[in-house]
Structure 1
Amino acid sequence: MAAQVQYEELARQLSAIGAVKRDLGRILPPDCPGGSAAVLTLLGRHGDMRMSKLAELLAVDMSVTSRHVAHVAERGWIERSPDPADKRSRILRLTAAGHIQLDELSRRSTDLLAERLADWSDDDVGRLIQLMTRLRESFGDCRSAPRLAHFAPAAESVADRTTRTPA
C-alpha cells in the first residue's frame, strides 16, 4: 500500500488536472460550451436516451440538463422525440449535424493532446490511459455520495498538522 505522503501528492496532482481541463475547454468552439460538449459526448458514447438518464450521467440537476439540451437542440445537434413508452418523456438523439460537431470536438481535443504530449512515448501515453482508466474504475459510480467516514480522519490530521507549533 502507498504511503500517506504519496496519497497527499496524488491529491495535489489530481487538483492540478484542472489546468489540463481548462486548456481542453479553451479549444471548444464558441457556440459549444463545456456543458453542450458533455451532452454531445454522452449521447455519442451511450446512444439515444431520456433526459433523466442524461442528467444522471452528467451528475447535475434536471434544470441544468434542460438548459444544456435546449442549447444543443437550438443548434440542430440533437432532436427530442416523444418516448414511445412514456409520451410525457423525450428521447434525445444526435442528428447528423450533432455527429459532425462531436467529430470536430474529438478532433480538437485529440490535436491538443497530441501537441502537448508530443515528447511522450507511445508506451507512456498508453500507460497513462491504463492508469487513468484504473483510477476511474477504483472510484466506481461517482454519482453516489462519498463515504464521508473515510474523509474525517484525513481532515483531522491535516488540521492537526497545521495547528501544531514547531518544537
Structure 2
Amino acid sequence: MPEPVEDLVIALYRLGRVQRAIARDALAELGGQGFAALAVVHREGPVRVSAVAEQLSVDLSVASRQVAALALAGYVEREPDPDDRRASRIHLTPAGMRVLTDSHRRMVSTAETALEQWSAQDVTGLAAQLERLREDFAAVASLPLQKDAA
C-alpha cells in the first residue's frame, strides 16, 4: 500500500504553500513561527521557554530567540518562576493578545475565502481527518525507535 501513502506525503508536502499563505496573514512582525510561539504562550502560559520549545518541537535556542523577539515587540513579558527563582515564565501582554487575535482573524478570513466553494460538511470532515492524522503522528513520534528485525 505504499502508493496511497506516497500520494499523501506528496500532498502534505504541497500543503506548505497553504501554510505559507495562511502565515502571510499573520502580521508581518510575527511570522509563522512567532505566531506559533505566541499561541503557545497564550494557550499554556505563563510558561517557561523550555515548554514553548517542547510544544513547537524546536531546539531551546530557537524558542528562546522567538520569545526574545516577542518580548522586544512587547507581546510577552517575563516574570519570575515561583517554583524556581532562577528561571522565568512568559506570559502574554494585552498587545500580544491583540496581535494574536487579529492574526487569527486574518488567517480564518483567508481560509474562508479559499474554501468558499466547499460545503460545511467537507470542511468539518477535512478538519477531523487532519486532527486524526496529527494525533496518529504524535503517537508514533512519542514511541521509542524500534530496531530493525534481524
Work out whether the TM-score is over 0.5. yes
1:80-129 Cα deviation digits (max 9, x unpaired): 00101101111110111111111011101100000000000000000001
Task: Report which structure shows greater RCO (CA 8 Å, sep ≥6).
Answer: 2
Separation in structure 1 between the aligned mates of residue 30 and residue 140 of structure 2, nearest angstrom: 25
- Gaps (5+ residues) in structure 2? none
CA RMSD of aligned residues (A): 1.9
Secondary structure of the 2:117 match is: coil
Q: Using a 3 Å threshold, how does the CA distance of structure 1 residues 119 and 22 change in structure 2: closer, same or farther? A: same
Distance in 2 separating the partners of 1:93 and 1:143: 28
The match for 2:76 is: 78
CA distance in 2: counterparts of 1:147 and 1:129, whole angstroms = 29
What SS does structure 2 have at the residue aligned with 1:41?
helix
Cα distance 1:141–1:59, how it changes in 2: closer, same or farther (>3 A)? farther
Asked if the contact 1:59–1:143 (Cα under 8 Å) also holds between the matched residues in 2, the reply is no
1:126-155 CA-to-partner distances (Å, cap 9, x unmatched) read 0001100111111125765884768xxxxx
1:28 counterpart = 2:26: yes
- For the residues of structure 2 that align with 1:116 and 1:93, how far apart are their CA atoms? 33
Distance 1:107 1:118 in 2: 16
**Distance verdict in 2 for CA 1:35–1:88, change over 3 Å:** same
TM-score, scaled relative to structure 1: 0.81
Provide the TM-score with structure 2 as the length reference. Answer: 0.90
Which residue number corresponds to residue 94 of structure 2? 96
Give 5+ residue unaligned stretches, structure 1: 151-167
SS in 1 for 2:90: strand
Distance in 2 separating the partners of 1:37 and 1:148: 34
Q: Secondary structure at the match of 1:49?
A: coil
1:6 aligns with 2:40: no
- Count of matched residue pairs: 148
